């Protein structure tokens, strides 16, 4: 992910199937890459500023 402050949106890309599905549902996809069987294996696109949330990770202490 990369935030474009001038345009005010996120540039996104993924090769992870669960993320590909979410990005296709919620984002504006500009490029897809398919394998020899026609399955989508990578996507690139943009998402609005309010469609992405970043969280501080919860760190667990190891005993």
Q: What is the pTM of this model?
A: 0.76
Would you say residue 34 lies in a domain? yes
How do residues 47-58 score in pLDDT, each as one tens digit? 998 888 888 888
Would you say residue 12 lies in a domain? yes
| Total structural domains within the chain | 1
- Which pairs from 48-54 meet CB under 8 Å and 24+ separation? 48/8, 48/9, 48/10, 49/3, 49/8, 49/9, 49/10, 51/10, 51/26, 51/27, 52/1, 52/10, 52/12
Domain range spanning residue 27?
2-51
How do residues 15-52 score in pLDDT, each as one tens digit? 999 999 999 999 999 999 999 999 999 999 999 988 88
The residues, any chain, with a CB within 8 Å of residue 29's CB and separated by 6 or more, are 23, 43, 44, 45
Would you say residue 57 lies in a domain? no
Determine the distance from the C-alpha atom of residue 10 to the mean position of all C-alpha atoms in its chain, rounded to a whole number: 9
């Amino acid at each position: 992910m990369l935030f474009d402050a001038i345009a005010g949106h996120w540039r996104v890309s993924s090769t992870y199937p669960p993320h590909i599905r979410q990005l296709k549902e919620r984002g504006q996809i500009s490029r897809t890459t398919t394998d020899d069987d026609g399955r989508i294996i990578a996507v690139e696109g943009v998402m609005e500023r309010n469609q992405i949330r970043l969280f501080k990770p919860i760190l667990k202490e190891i005993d």
